Amino acid sequence: MRTYRYVSLLIIAAALGFVIGLKVGEQRVSARLAATASDSEPCCTWPAAPRADTEPPTIPPVPGLPCVVQFGCDETEDCRAARLILEGMSGEMEGRASLVMVDTRLHPREADRWRLRMVPTQVFLDANGSEVSRHEGIITADETLAGLRAAGADLHQAPRGTD
């Protein structure tokens, strides 16, 4: 009988210690949240964007040439894929159209200025720098060539994959 008393006292002491530990932990969390709330940054935010050390690229970079501007960031798979497609086409566009890449994490004002709804977005500009069309999402080489033709680029070869 005596053993049961000791065991029950031990269980009560453990439960009491557990409840006290919860209360102490709750107070520490509340204090940490209060300290965070008083700081300049809210407690639950995305990591800060890296600072841009440079000005955003000039759009269009070469006056008199049609241009495709790729807006995106290297943190998403879709943006990386679209970037690779456009960079792979840069040789075909040499001297006939310009390609500009704008990282929207480094230059968020450019995303606002161009009223982007999502990234990646490709904006096609004519030789005067006026927007002709835009494409949201990953773009294919054929769609890029069609957009550049609509913007006035003189591309002598047919789109890839067509005969």
- Which pLDDT score, from 0 to 100, does residue 115 have? 94
- Which pLDDT score, from 0 to 100, does residue 124 have? 95
- Which pLDDT score, from 0 to 100, does residue 131 have? 94
- Which pLDDT score, from 0 to 100, does residue 71 have? 94
**Mean pLDDT of all residues belonging to the chain:** 80
In the chain, % of residues over pLDDT 90? 35
- Which pLDDT score, from 0 to 100, does residue 15 have? 80
- Which pLDDT score, from 0 to 100, does residue 135 have? 94
Q: Is the pLDDT of residue 26 over 80?
A: no
- Which pLDDT score, from 0 to 100, does residue 41 have? 45
> Which DSSP string corresponds to the chain?
-HHHHHHHHHHHHHHHHHHHHHHHHHHHHHHHHHHHHHSSS-SS-PPPPPPPSSPPPPSSSSTTS-EEEEEE-TTSHHHHHHHHHHHHTHHHHTTT-EEEEEETTT-HHHHHHTT-SSSSEEEEE-TTS-EEEEEES---HHHHHHHHHHTT----SPPTT--
User: 């998403």: which residue's tokens?
Assistant: 76
Q: Is the pLDDT of residue 38 over 60?
A: no
- What is the value of pTM for the model shown? 0.63
- Which pLDDT score, from 0 to 100, does residue 35 have? 54
Instruction: Give pLDDT tens digits for 97-129.
Output: 999 999 999 999 999 999 999 999 999 999 999
